[in-house]
Amino acid sequence: MGTGAVAVVAPDRAKQRRGGHLWKKALLHFSLCFVMGFFTGFAPSSSSSWRAATQHPPHRAGDHLAASRVAVDARVNLVPSPPDTAGEVGLVGAAGGGGGATVDVGDDDEEAGPRRLLIVVTTTRSGAGERRRRRAELLRLAHTLRLVRPPVVWVVVEPVADAPATAEVLRGTGVMYRHIAFKPEENFTTAAAEAHAQRNAALAHVEKHRLAGVLHFADAAGVYDTGFFDQIRQIEAFGTWPVATMSAGEKKVVVEGPLCSASKVIGWFSRDFNDGTTRAVTYNTETDLNPAGVAGTRVHTIDVSGFAFNSSILWDPERWGRPTSLPDTSQDSIKFVQEVVLEDRAKLKGIPSDCSQIMVWQYGAPSSQ
Ligand SMILES: *[C@@H]1O[C@H](CO)[C@@H](O)[C@H](O)[C@H]1NC(C)=O
Ligand SMILES: *[C@@H]1O[C@H](CO)[C@@H](O)[C@H](O)[C@H]1NC(C)=O
């Protein structure tokens, strides 16, 4: 504090003598700043270095306000009058009206136009052990989703018996959600069969309500890089990326996913980090549907944790070059999507462009069938 005191009691005489000089200096500074500001106004505002310098942490108050406002707006938009007859007229109407798929959040974003809706679908498993973990897992995923820029709608599917407890968890998360109580017609013999049926229930809901956006199946126990969700927003048709699968008991890590070049998928790989082995298959030609088909290793299916897609495909399959008379499109949407992702490779976008970065981690056995 000593130096501060000295500065305050500086002699008046000196102050007066320098008074005129200070004024001139101030004027000069002022005009310099004015000129700089004037020209800065012409600088492109979307320059990445400027953005990097002015990035705010996701917790600033404005975001919360924006998020709650969006939640209200989006809820209004997202509850469209469901076209019960999915005829041609319904399709045209949904396409022309935009279907309330995007929400203009009106913040200081550099992107042109409103952000697309992210539809994050989480399925659950029945069984006592699963039920005990559910609250913790849902809360953790909710915390991740709260960091994602709106609009995001979280579709949670679960057995009808467990729904009341989960409804209470979901209400407190601050994430916009749809809670689907699932009442199966059969007793499932495997967890995979149950998840499959729940995914179809979620897709039926998305289709019925025309929730247009980018849809991804997020496991409740999954771990996500927050930048991931901004990346998948860019998906036009389908997108895929590498996923790390960790098995807690065996301390194993396996990464599986696409081999990419300039966002194009040129093959698939599976890398075991414990023994250092990598298996990879690449497409032989541009039109080759099954990579390394000659070698006998074919990619038959893609795990749901490894892809996202434009949900419009659910009610607009014709546009993606598929026959409308597909036998089980409406019954088994998830199978249809998994097939179409692998078949329509030209529309499949690798994320990030060289697929080198792992942004999704999950627990459990790698589900390569
Ligand atoms: C499912 O199992 C329960 C008993 O665990 C049984 O009461 C019910 O009838 C079964 N449902 C079907 C469709 O098999
Ligand atoms: C999503 O798919 C629909 C066609 O089903 C298409 O009209 C729309 O442009 C796609 N969205 C984006 C962002 O590419």
- What pLDDT does 311 receive? 94
Looking at the DSSP bridge assignments, the partners of residue 363 are 246
Question: pTM for the full model?
Answer: 0.68
CA distances from 323 to 28, 312, 318, 320, 340 (A): 72, 16, 6, 9, 12
Do the domain assignments include residue 228? yes
Q: Considering its fold, how many domains does the chain have in total?
A: 1
Do the domain assignments include residue 76? no
- Which of 111, 116, 231, 236 has most ligand 2 atoms within 8 Å of CB, for mutation? 236
Q: Which CATH number fits the domain that encloses residue 294?
A: 3.90.550.10
What is the CB < 6 Å shell around ligand 2?
Answer: 236, 310, 312-313, 316, 319
Do the domain assignments include residue 17? no
Ligand 1 close to Cβ of residue 48 (< 6 A) = no
Tens digits of residue pLDDT in 156-174: 999 998 888 899 999 999 9
Rounded to the nearest angstrom, the distance between the alpha carbon of 90 and the centre of ligand 2 is 16
In this structure, which ligand is nearest to the CA of 96? 2
What would the two tokens of residue 5 be?
């005191």
Share of the chain above pLDDT 90, in %: 38
* Residue with CA at minimum distance from ligand 2 atom 4: 312
In single-letter form, the type of residue at position 197 comes to A
Do the domain assignments include residue 111? no
User: Tokens 């036009």 correspond to what residue?
Assistant: 236
pLDDT at 62 over 50: no
Do the domain assignments include residue 131? yes
- Is pLDDT larger for residue 302 or for residue 8? 302
* Residue with CA at minimum distance from ligand 1 atom 2: 187
Do the domain assignments include residue 22? no
3-state secondary structure (DSSP) of residue 167: helix
d(CA 117, CA 151): 5
The arithmetic mean of pLDDT across residues 175-188, rounded, is 91
Tens digits of residue pLDDT in 216-230: 999 988 999 989 999
Rounded to the nearest angstrom, the distance between the alpha carbon of 308 and the centre of ligand 2 is 13
Do the domain assignments include residue 147? yes
What are the backbone angles phi and psi of residue 253, rounded to the nearest 5°? -130, 125
Q: Which helix (H) or strand (E) holds 245?
A: strand 243-247
Do the domain assignments include residue 36? no
Give which of 40, 187, 197, 41 is closest to 127, Cα–Cα.
187
* Residue with CA at minimum distance from ligand 1 atom 4: 187
* Residue with CA at minimum distance from ligand 1 atom 7: 187
Tens digits of residue pLDDT in 324-351: 545 444 568 888 888 888 887 888 999 9
d(CA 199, CA 361): 20
